[in-house]
Structure 1
């Protein structure tokens, strides 16, 4: 009862109920639109389902470990278990605002309290986003170069354009930061303050970019973890797809997962990309002549996994609030 007397406890309960309601409605919609009767007669591999589910959990651990590596590169340290808890809380809050900024805000809040510097926490989260985007762009480009013949013509062209765009953006920002660092080192700090790097992104992001520009080698482990995250995320989709009888090569799943993940981060998306991710999956898999019902089943598995992680995050948050009191 002590928890319920808290000022914002009713908001937490309401958020949990709403999240469960939305999840139930989505699952009901998928159940009525997909051919669930065929699923009982298919060769459903529980080992593949286990592979997919474990891939989703491993993505959480890798993301937290990347956060840990970024803090370590800046001379700071937070316990990895604590970062995993904060990441789960971030997933829960990320369902309610576009671009996952709700999750980033709550992670920056708690991380800033622990570190004693909110600016450092915000800068670290910005670096994590940029490195993740860079790793995705490079991985997608490499996949197209090696296995491009596996993709339908329109999908290959779209993926190539997306890969080029999301690679050039972080490379341009980091290159501008490198130039600003050299100007500052040469004693032209006043000119560096007017460097085009700012782009109205704010001084905190600019400071974070300057850190990585001055010591790029220290951030290579975090970049490697970003690559690992996307590979495991592709295995996550691959496992669910095999369990549902969608037999596509792993590179095809990687491209599909990448484009669906980017669609889910569009500014008009809420509930962690609910609807946009499912629509993107159906459209992309249709190019491989995958039936709509199976594509919806795959989207349902990914959505159920995301919902489970979000509910876990709300539980961790409630327990954390109770401990703080």
Structure 2
């Protein structure tokens, strides 16, 4: 009965995310001409967009390497190529599973099946995400100071935009360092002594203990890897903008890209559709980008993610064919 209820909840959640995406897109295209968006995308410069595609694939490899570093810190030894493969499979899952976490779930399950260590798999995926966000936030902080020095940002901006900027540039790094070097288990036990009787408590405690096993050196390495990852992600957005005829200072992208990445993680729409297009419009229109072009930038980036998912599907199919064609004795070795 419990599994049936959970399955229905997941279906309802997925349907609600799809419905919200549709509502947001309908509202957005009620204010932005769909015809202009189509015309803008049709006039895209394919050379610059091809470069954006290549840069996006490089980022997949960088993210897989960051994951590899964290797993090695737990005395696990997954093959780097296998982690790259799992990342593409994660993108493939994200094309069809609501929210941006479907791919993470696939990666955790696949890694647990191949290595048999659930807590390590979950914590590594979680910490890979978190250290990536912290690294992006640190770059956003530098970009914030850069834009302020260049007088590109003023106090006349809406308060909620400033809130997003401050949370991205300051809040996330501070929250990470507090969470990593605090004792959340002890705090929970003090606030709620009966917590140990909850059904998920043991798994949560195991996860927290596993996270605290990461040496500082591994976390610093992961953060350092996050810097070229974020810079390359910014270049992806810059080349997409160039492909659509938009030329803005690099510092603008350096500030906006981490904000977009964080908002894109919110599991409230289907893979960020509708929400992401709205935030692109919200951020780029005030700096002189036409609304239709801002939406086109968002969709062009989504197509890159979708294409990475298609590559993941092809890899999965090719791997399955090879596994099926392999002689039985090869499976036993």
CA contact (8 A) 2:92 2:103 kept: yes
Q: Summarize the alignment of residues 39-50 of structure 1 with structure 2, pairs less than 5 Å apart.
A: 45-50=45-50
Change (3 A) 1:176 1:96: farther
- Quickly say closer, same or farther: Cα 1:35–1:135, change in 2 above 3 A: closer
Answer whether contact 1:134 1:171 (CA < 8 A) is retained: no
SS of the residue corresponding to residue 150 of structure 1 reads coil
Give me the CA root mean square deviation.
3.1
TM-score, length basis structure 2: 0.75
Matches within 5 A, 1:28-107: 32-34=34-36, 37=39, 45-97=45-97, 99-107=99-107
Secondary structure in 2 matching 1:211: coil
2:167 maps to 161
1:210 aligned partner: 212
Please show how residues 145-294 of structure 1 align to structure 2 within 5 Å: 145-148=145-148, 149-151=151-153, 153=155, 154=157, 155-156=161-162, 158-177=164-183, 194=189, 202-212=204-214, 215-270=215-270, 272-294=271-293
* TM-score, length-scaled by structure 1: 0.76
1:192 shift after superposition: 8.5
Gaps (5+ residues) in structure 1?
1-21, 181-190
CA 1:98/1:207 → structure 2, altered by over 3 Å: closer, same or farther? Answer: farther
Q: Residues 205, 142 of structure 1: CA spacing in aligned structure 2 closer, same or farther, 3 A cutoff?
A: farther
Supply the distance in 2 between the matched residues of 1:166 and 1:279 (Cα, whole angstroms).
Answer: 22
Matched, 1:296 2:295: yes
CA distance in 2, matches of 1:308, 1:39: 16
Q: 3-state SS of the aligned residue for 2:287?
A: coil
Distance 1:255 1:99, change over 3 A: farther
Verify the 8 A CA contact 1:126 1:208 in the aligned structure 2.
Answer: no
- 8 Å CA contact 2:70–2:124 kept in 1: the answer is yes
Segments of 5+ residues of structure 2 without an aligned counterpart are: 1-20, 325-333
2:304 maps to 305
CA, structure 1 residues 267+223, in 2 after alignment: closer, same or farther (shift >3 Å)?
A: same
Q: Which moved more, 1:245-254 or 1:200-209?
A: 200-209
Report how far residue 92 of structure 1 moved. Answer: 1.7
1:103-157, CA deviations, whole angstroms, 9 ceiling, x for partnerless residues? 1111011111222212211111121122112112222112112233323542455
> Aligned equivalents of 1:218 and 1:38: distance in 2?
44
Compute the displacement of 1:220 (Å): 2.1
> Residues of 1 paired with 2:187 and 2:274: CA distance?
43
**How far is the alpha carbon of 1:246 from its aligned partner?**
0.9
Deviation at 1:76, TM superposition (A): 1.8
**Contact 1:34-1:296 within 8 A present in 2 as well:** no
Between Structure 1 and Structure 2, how many residues are aligned? 283
Alpha carbons of 1:45 and 1:193: their partners in 2 closer, same or farther (altered >3 Å)? closer
Relative to structure 1, the CA distance from residue 208 to residue 269 in structure 2 (aligned partners, 3 Å threshold; closer, same or farther) is: farther
In structure 1, how many angstroms separate the alpha carbons of the residues matched to 2:276 and 2:78?
33
Instruction: Supply the distance in 2 between the matched residues of 1:37 and 1:129 (Cα, whole angstroms).
Output: 36
Give the whole-Å Cα distance in 1 for the aligned partners of 2:306 and 2:154: 31
2:16 aligned partner: none
Q: Is the 8 A contact 1:64 1:83 kept in 2?
A: yes
Equivalent position SS for 1:100: coil
Q: What is the CA distance between 1:46 and its match in structure 2?
A: 4.6
